[in-house]
Structure 1
């Protein structure tokens, strides 16, 4: 498995842990708040990554035209 797939898999694991751990820690506890923020950060990254990938496609076509 390459670097990027490992990072994606690791991030997915962290997301699952944050979702699961938030309930165990209690949403109002310091740990629960940190886990909630971590999950919100991953959601933010997912949305941002869509735009990054689209900009990469445009850039790649300019740098490596057919």
Structure 2
């Protein structure tokens, strides 16, 4: 898999993990480390793709809004 494709896949995994955890535990109780663990990546990798939990929440909101 090419690096660009891998980056897209990792971002999707983080995105899906965050949605699942937010739905199960709520936004406040979900930690960035929980999202990274569920996506099977390091916490540092999370920060490569998103600057904060608020940024991934915004990405989820805008993705849903565009669909």
Return the TM-score normalized by structure 2: 0.46
- Asked which structure has the greater RCO (Cα within 8 Å, sep 6+), the reply is 2
Return the TM-score normalized by structure 1: 0.46
Larger Rg: 1
